[in-house]
Amino acid sequence: MLEAKLEEAGTLKKLLDAIKELVTDANFECNEEGLNLQAMDNSHVALVSVHLEAGGFKRFRCDRPMPLGVNLASLTKVLKCAKDDDECTLKAADDADVLNLVYEAKSSDRIAEYDMKLMEIDSDTLGIPDTDYDAEVIMPAAEFSRIVRDLGALGESVRIEVSKEGVRFASDGEAANGSVLLKKDGEIKGVKTSDERKRDEARARGDVVKDDDEEDGEDDEEEKEKKTKEKKIKKEKIKKEKNGDEDVEMDEEEKEEKEDEEFKANSDDEEEAKSEAEPSDDEEESGKKRKKKANGSSKPAKKAKITKGKGKGKGKDDEDKPIFDFAMNSHVSLTFSLKYLVNFSKSASLTNTVSLLMSNEVPLLVAYDFGQGYVRYYLAPKIGDE
């Protein structure tokens, strides 16, 4: 028996809207790890792979592996009967020919129930080999959608080229040609470490990145400067004590303590301030520095290595914000059908970021990873004038 309850029906609706034009009929393979769908389009040019993790469901139970053969157009129509925030439960008995869908509204006591006939679909699961790609591009999903949509109005194909210059999308049409170049600061020297990539992602957003060594060096310099000034102040006090100016020394001591605690240089009595000796240049400089600290230091706090700039992300957390970054081992240039890429880009409703993985003479991998799983598309490149 299968029972899978999603927190929001909108996730499944967006998922089907993205793949229904590529795949007509397909099997949802259910097992203890979750739901999986793998299918090719009718022309056998593109492959779609979908995975919904068991942990992404509010409740998940699958007693034994079982296929659910569905017509995606029919399933989409049934899902349109649910609101995006409704809880959606999928139920199917062992060897059943019906899929039961239950929608529970969160804002009311409304419960809707639908039954959809299942199909027997003969399909073989293709083994997708692990590939070491020569280039990886991470970019905002909305930007990818815009590029393929704009270039799709000019021609039928797009050339995606990854080089040290950046990532270029180019299309040659009968009436017009167009290209879009995305680049970032810094030289590309192969695939980078995770720390290097995080710094580059921050720079691509316009954030200010500070290395550990630089920050520690600034802290050490500040500590040395502080100790030097403290020694000078002590020497001044010793000189005043030798001259017998003890009263003035006491006032100076009280003033120092007050300045350290409140970061202020005000005097309670103007007449006493006039009678007191004028502070030395070093004391004056330290007082200014304390005032600056009281009003707010311009340096970032320790451990805060990235100062957030104006990110383009729509996610709730900084990690969810879409960024642009790429890494490469060698130059890659491939041509693909824009019709398929436009269909792939419909998955932008699931997540803010898309990954493009490429190698010469190898199918392009377009990956959309979201909280409950992923959607991955594989597209064969065009060869010659095809």
Residues 169 and 35 in one domain: no
Residue environment code for 63-99, b if the CB has 16+ CB neighbours within 10 A, otherwise e: eeebbbbbbbeebbebbeebbeebbbbbbbeeeeeeb
Residues 150 and 290 in one domain: no
Residue 16, sorted as left (phi over 0), alpha (psi -120 to 50) or beta, turns out to be: alpha
Residues 313 and 329 in one domain: yes
Q: Is residue 153 assigned to a domain?
A: yes
pTM, rounded to two decimals:
0.64
- Please tell me the distance from the alpha carbon of residue 71 to that of residue 117, in angstroms, as a whole number: 9
pLDDT surpasses 50 at 194: no
Residues 138 and 115 in one domain: no
Q: Give the CATH number, domain containing residue 111.
A: 3.10.150.10
Nearest to 375 by CA among 333, 352, 349, 347: 347
- Please tell me the distance from the alpha carbon of residue 356 to that of residue 365, in angstroms, as a whole number: 6
Out of 86, 108, 128, a domain closes at: 128
Sign of CA dihedral 220, 225, 228, 230: negative
As for how many domains the chain has, the answer is: 3
Residues 358 and 322 in one domain: yes
pLDDT surpasses 90 at 227: no
pLDDT surpasses 70 at 291: no
Who wins on pLDDT, 130 or 364? 364
- In this prediction, residues 1-19 reach a mean pLDDT of 91
Out of 95, 128, 161, a domain closes at: 128
Condensed to tens digits (0 to 9), the pLDDT of residues 97-133 reads 899 999 999 888 899 999 999 998 877 667 777 888 9
Q: DSSP string spanning 290-341?
A: HHHHHH--SSPPTT--EE-------SSSGGGS---EEEESS-EEEEEEHHHH
Out of 251, 269, 295, a domain closes at: 295
- State the residue range of the domain holding 252: 212-295
Nearest to 103 by CA among 116, 92, 89: 89
Residues 135 and 120 in one domain: no
Nearest to 155 by CA among 139, 178, 133: 178
Q: What are phi and psi of 78, to 5 degrees?
A: -65, -40
Q: Is residue 64 assigned to a domain?
A: yes
Q: Is residue 109 assigned to a domain?
A: yes
Q: Give the CATH number, domain containing residue 373.
A: 3.70.10.10
Instruction: Enter the tokens of residue 367.
Output: 């990956």
pLDDT of residue 4: 92
Burial class (CB in 10 A: 0-12, 13-18, 19+), 130: exposed
